């Protein structure tokens, strides 16, 4: 699509995509937090002990970037955005962040952290927390 917008319209388009992408990622994170809560419920560790806030913020930023990129190719008229396009931008944030983080965790695994843990957002407290297993793959981002 060859669309010409002025700078203000481009910023609105990219901003809309970024906000919806981050919201899609936040939805993914909420589901993951529930899984993480279930994983640590039988241990002395708490959810706040095993969450790494910087990973959560990074995941939201990745979702925002995925949504912004999707909006540029998906929306042709910023003044007439369909509900299906909004759902697509939410999905781009949700799945785009999952794809990028999954790829990066395999391409550059964190040293000293068991496989799968790098995508749960478990940081320095990894030794105090139980391994949430494969079901916690998207616990906080």
Which pLDDT tens digit goes with each residue over 69-78?
999 988 888 8
Q: For residue 113, is pLDDT > 70?
A: no
What pLDDT shows up at residue 124? Answer: 45
Residue 58: inside a domain: yes
Residue 122: inside a domain: yes
Residue 138: inside a domain: no
Q: What is the tally of structural domains in the chain?
A: 1
Residue 105: inside a domain: yes
What pLDDT shows up at residue 112? Answer: 62
Residue 134: inside a domain: no
Residue labelled with tokens 């749960």: 120
In tens, the pLDDT along 12-54 reads 999 999 999 999 999 988 888 888 888 888 888 888 888 888 8
Rounded to the nearest 10 degrees, how much is the dihedral formed by the CA atoms of 56, 57, 60, 62?
-100
What pLDDT shows up at residue 89? Answer: 92
Residue 132: inside a domain: no
Tell me the mean pLDDT in the region 121-127: 45
What span, in angstroms and rounded, lies between the C-alpha atoms of 76 and 97? 23
Percentage with pLDDT > 70 across the chain: 74
Residue 2: inside a domain: no
Residue 59: inside a domain: yes
In tens, the pLDDT along 81-93 reads 999 999 999 999 9
What does pLDDT average to over the chain? 78
What span, in angstroms and rounded, lies between the C-alpha atoms of 57 and 89? 19
pTM summary value? 0.69
Task: State which residues form the domain around 91.
Answer: 7-127
CB 36 within 8 A of CB 132: yes
């Amino acid at each position: 699509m060859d669309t010409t917008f002025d700078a203000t319209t481009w910023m609105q388009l990219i901003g809309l995509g970024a906000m919806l992408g981050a919201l899609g990622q936040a939805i993914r994170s909420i589901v993951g937090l529930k899984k993480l809560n279930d994983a640590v419920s039988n241990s002395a560790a708490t959810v706040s002990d095993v969450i790494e806030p910087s990973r959560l913020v990074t995941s939201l930023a990745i979702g925002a970037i995925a949504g912004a990129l999707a909006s540029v190719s998906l929306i042709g008229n910023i003044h007439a955005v369909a509900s299906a396009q909004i759902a697509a931008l939410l999905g781009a944030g949700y799945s785009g962040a999952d794809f990028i983080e999954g790829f990066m965790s395999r391409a550059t695994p964190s040293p000293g952290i068991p496989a799968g843990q790098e995508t749960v957002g478990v940081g320095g407290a990894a030794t105090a927390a139980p391994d949430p297993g494969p079901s916690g793959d998207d616990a906080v981002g």
